[in-house]
Amino acid sequence: MPGGIRTHETSMSEHRDIGRYVEAYFRLQGDLAGKIVVDLPAGKGRMSRALREMGATVEPYDLYPEYFEVEGMACRFADLERELPIAGSHADYAVFQEGLEHLPDQLRPLREFNRILKPRGRLLLTTPNPSSLRARLCHFLVEGYLFNRLPINEASAIRMLDRPRGRYYFGHVFLIGAQRLRLLARIAGFRLAGIHPNRLSAFSVLLGVVYPVLLACNALACQGSRRRYRRLDPDWLRPALRDVVALNLHPRILFAKKLFFELEKIREPDEAGAEMAEHARR
């Protein structure tokens, strides 16, 4: 690897697989002419190329822009653990594929994507799905994510060593479930606008026989939460609990291999946090 960078082999097939579904989302949006799309991390540029072909104005960024391979497009440096070199309220869309699970501070990049998006801008985020039924069973049996692998450990925790910068980068140490992702997105000023389809896990589908049990458990947990937080404004609490239960029971959460969330910017991050804090004080 150039520049003294040492890295594990990574599976590009997984990125291509989920990328097909992200491309399908954009094709359904119609004409993208005049729409600014930030692609971060852009990798070799497959998504950037596809978006350019759809008519979008694409701005690719990556931690290692030297690996970008799309002729006629320039990829610029950006580090998701720091402030992004992009102006506020700049983009109509941002694409954030398979990156959040590598970052120890997962709220920061969500806040940054919020900052660079225009009001009502959309963030398309994909990440492995530890909330699927298969992954939940794996966690119960071995506290792992896949049946054929032990939990992440010293052999798999560090994905990349970058000697010139004196840094290393994590593998899937920070896998994030659907509920935590939804909550961090809300704190960052987004609302969950859509849960989009992607490749199904056949084993998760087989485990769907437990769905009635999930339904009953969520009903009981919802009743308990209503009692626990009965002092809060019911008009504010009720839709929040309803959204949580709906996410727990959503087929695309239970059966898909990836989480593919469409997040809409509805307020600035400081405003979102202040609203939650104000309700919690009541």
Bond from prior residue into 41 cis (ω within 30 degrees of 0): yes
12-62 pLDDT per residue, tens: 455 568 999 999 999 999 999 999 999 999 999 999 999 999 999 999 999
191-205 pLDDT per residue, tens: 999 999 999 999 999
The whole-number pLDDT of residue 148 equals: 87
Distance, CA of 209 to chain centre:
28
Residue at 207 is within a domain? no
Q: CB atoms < 10 A from the CB of 234, how many?
A: 12
For position 272, which CATH number holds?
A: 3.40.50.150
For residue 200, list its beta bridge partners.
256
123, 263 contact by CB (below 8 A): yes
Q: Which two tokens stand for residue 135?
A: 């992954």
Q: Outline where 105-161 has alpha helix (H).
A: 107-116, 133-142
The whole-number pLDDT of residue 7 equals: 40
Q: Which two tokens stand for residue 99?
A: 């990156």
93, 36 contact by CB (below 8 A): yes
The whole-number pLDDT of residue 162 equals: 87
Distances, alpha carbon 165 to alpha carbons 3, 64, 152, 172, in Å: 9, 12, 25, 21
Residue at 48 is within a domain? yes
267-282 pLDDT per residue, tens: 998 888 788 888 776 6
Number of structural domains, the chain?
A: 1
> In b/e form, how buried is each residue of 26-45, taking b as 16+ CB within 10 angstroms?
beeeeebeebbbbbbbbbbb
Residue at 267 is within a domain? yes
Q: Which two tokens stand for residue 136?
A: 């939940």
Residue with tokens 């609490």: 237
Q: Phi then psi for 159, rounded to 5 degrees?
A: -85, -35
Residue at 191 is within a domain? yes
The whole-number pLDDT of residue 5 equals: 40
The whole-number pLDDT of residue 10 equals: 42
The whole-number pLDDT of residue 264 equals: 98
The whole-number pLDDT of residue 281 equals: 64
Query: Which one, of 51, 2, 59, lies nearest residue 22 by Cα?
Result: 51
Residue at 211 is within a domain? no
Distances, alpha carbon 213 to alpha carbons 9, 137, 157, 220, 238, in Å: 40, 14, 35, 11, 22
Residues of the chain with pLDDT under 70: 1-16, 281-282
Residue at 238 is within a domain? no
Residue at 10 is within a domain? yes
Helix (H) or strand (E) holding 125: strand 117-128
* Local structure of residue 144 (DSSP, 8 states): S
How many CA atoms lie within 13 Å of 268's alpha carbon, on the beta-carbon side? 6
Residue at 157 is within a domain? yes
258, 127 contact by CB (below 8 A): yes
* Residue 232: strand, helix, or coil: coil
* Domain with 107 in it: 2-202+256-281
